[in-house]
Amino acid sequence: MARSRSRQLAAGRLTYIFISGETYWRTRLHQIEADDEHVDQELVPAYHASVPGRKLLWLKISDFDELERDDLLRLLDPANRPGKPVALGNRTNPLIVRLRTRPRVWWVSQGSSFGRATRGGYLWAPLLNKAGRTQNYWQTMRHVRAGDVVLHYADTEIRGWSVAKGEAFPSSRPDPDADQVWSNDGLRVDVAYEGFEVPLKLSDIPSEWRVAEAGAFDKNGGANEGYLFPLSDDFAAKLKGRFPVLEPALAAVNGQLPAGAQLQPLPSELEELHQQLRRKRQVILQGPPGVGKTFAARRYISWLAHGNPERARLTSHLGALPKDGRTVEALAGEVESSGLRVVWDIVQFHPSYTYECFIRGLVAQPVEQGITFEARHKVGGLMTAVAKALSERGSEARAVLVIDEINRGDISKIFGELIYGLEYRDQPVASPYSVDGSSEIVIPSNLDFIGTMNTADRSIALVDYALRRRLFSSTSSLIET
């Protein structure tokens, strides 16, 4: 484990350590060291004093972000068996995990409630039974995300499939005829259901597949008692290969969203933002601190990304590619293969932020003779290039860049010649830096900018009014409600 993670760090791959206990944390991994002499002793707690003859492995970590347990189970996959749940109990050995970047496939066992639930378009599980206890196969409802696929099993057959419209939310019992041994309080997931003309019998699935899968199946391959179980990607791929009728449902195995995963209705409070972006392509959300400017921007992104914003983020797509394969074309292909309709990222401006931080800049590269410098895309330039590549491919995916605290930076200095490109989309402008043999930059029509501006900050006076009026459509009513 240590060698492979060290190689990953050496290759420049962003690597996290997740810590589970009474509290759950995500931390960034910087260094792995087995030699005590190479460890900065000032960073070692006193209770970890060196013991002669005992070998220790030291990890240098930083940036502690507290997470909810359900966030880890929803977002992470065990690297050795993607699709199955991550084990968060006490562990003597580290578990290698990866960010979940595609829809999950679930198995729901429904008895007499099958007809009512599929007609009503929902999954529902109680929080507790009458004895006051819960079950893991009820709690899995918390880990469903928009776009996930559900196979519906009832009366020894797979009757159909559905696509989750969003995450689970608290809901009282939707079915008055359901088993009364459950509590009335539960979790609900709304789904779009599609039945099979000819159901698939459980016996049609090879018993050895079912036994090896476990979870939804017992040791003999029969269906386990329970409700909602995650299926491994390997098992879902086998089903997809054997049963053509499952091809539309299990497109998720290849990282595609299923055909039924359409955008959900836009929340009414985001309608103004949506309309202004369609008209102007760049919008500033302004207001005093704490009114939810950045929250509104991220909620809009979540809507575009079918409730999976982290999966649609540019940095997630970068992390899915090897370091030497992170080309603009490869990134555009990665975005298309995700099946999502948006790629996005977020930056925060500050007084020291420059064109070289945001658009293009020189990066030092070691060579045999010493060091050389080459021009590279930064986040704004990379997002622009990826959006242009998507447009040239005929993709319907849009790109969105959120600029937090936009008034704290010098917009003229940061955007440079791209101020012209903001107003005149799809028109090339010349950059002082040439990347991949071209000095031209084009801001395509499929790239939107959402800025946030704190009206109580004195730095707002630094943003030229004419520049704001000409380039950005401002809205405050959105975040005042």
**Containing H/E element for 423?**
helix 418-423
- Provide mean pLDDT across the span 328-352: 86
The pLDDT score that the predictor gives to residue 134 is 81
Could you state, in order of their start, the residue ranges of all structural domains in the chain? 2-99, 105-254, 268-480
Kindly report the average pLDDT of the chain as a whole number.
80
Beta bridge partners of 181: none
The answer to whether residues 204 and 246 touch, using CB atoms and an 8 Å cutoff, is no
Residue with tokens 């386990």: 224
The string of DSSP letters for 175-235 reads -TTS-TTB-SEEEEEEEEEEEEEEEEEGGGS-HHHHHHH-TTB-TTSPBPSSSEEEEPHHH
The pLDDT score that the predictor gives to residue 292 is 81
pLDDT band at 399 (very low <50, low <70, confident <90, very high): very high
Assigned fold of 105-254: ph1033 like fold (3.10.590)
Q: Pick the closest to residue 150 from 226, 249, 243 (CA basis).
A: 249
- Provide mean pLDDT across the span 27-31: 77
Q: Quote the distance between the C-alpha of residue 252 and its chain's center.
A: 15
Round to whole Å and give the CA distance between 275 and 93.
51
The torsion angles phi and psi of 248, rounded to 5 degrees, stand at -65, -40
pLDDT band at 53 (very low <50, low <70, confident <90, very high): low
- Provide mean pLDDT across the span 96-108: 80
Q: Radius of gyration (Cα) for the chain, nearest Å? A: 25
pLDDT in tens, 261-314: 555 667 777 888 887 887 788 888 888 877 788 888 988 998 888 777 888 899
Dump strand ranges (E) for 338-428.
Answer: 342-348, 360-367, 370-377, 398-404
Work out the number of other CB atoms within 10 angstroms of the CB of residue 395: 17
Q: Are strands 473-475 and 342-348 parallel, antiparallel or unpaired?
A: unpaired
pLDDT band at 175 (very low <50, low <70, confident <90, very high): confident
- Report whether pLDDT(67) > 90: no
Was domain 268-480 assigned CATH 3.40.50.300? Answer: yes
Proportion of the chain above pLDDT 70, given as a percent = 81
Is 449 strand, coil or helix? strand
The pLDDT score that the predictor gives to residue 478 is 44
The pLDDT score that the predictor gives to residue 481 is 33
The pLDDT score that the predictor gives to residue 254 is 54
DSSP state of 92: S
Identical fold for domains 105-254 and 268-480, yes or no, is no
The pLDDT score that the predictor gives to residue 83 is 79
Q: Pick the closest to residue 348 from 297, 386, 299 (CA basis).
A: 297
- Provide mean pLDDT across the span 94-120: 83
Proportion of the chain above pLDDT 90, given as a percent = 20
pLDDT in tens, 314-323: 988 887 777 7
Q: Helix 293-304 vs helix 271-280: angle between axes, to the nearest 10 degrees?
A: 80
The torsion angles phi and psi of 360, rounded to 5 degrees, stand at -145, 150
The pLDDT score that the predictor gives to residue 463 is 57
The pLDDT score that the predictor gives to residue 11 is 46
- Report whether pLDDT(259) > 50: no
Q: How many helices (H) and strands (E) does the chain have?
A: 17, 21
Q: Pick the closest to residue 305 from 378, 236, 402, 203 (CA basis).
A: 402
Higher pLDDT, 320 or 205: 205
The pLDDT score that the predictor gives to residue 260 is 46
Residues shown for the chain: 481
The string of DSSP letters for 249-290 reads GGGGGGTPPPTT-PPPPPPGGGHHHHHHHHHHSEEEEEESTT
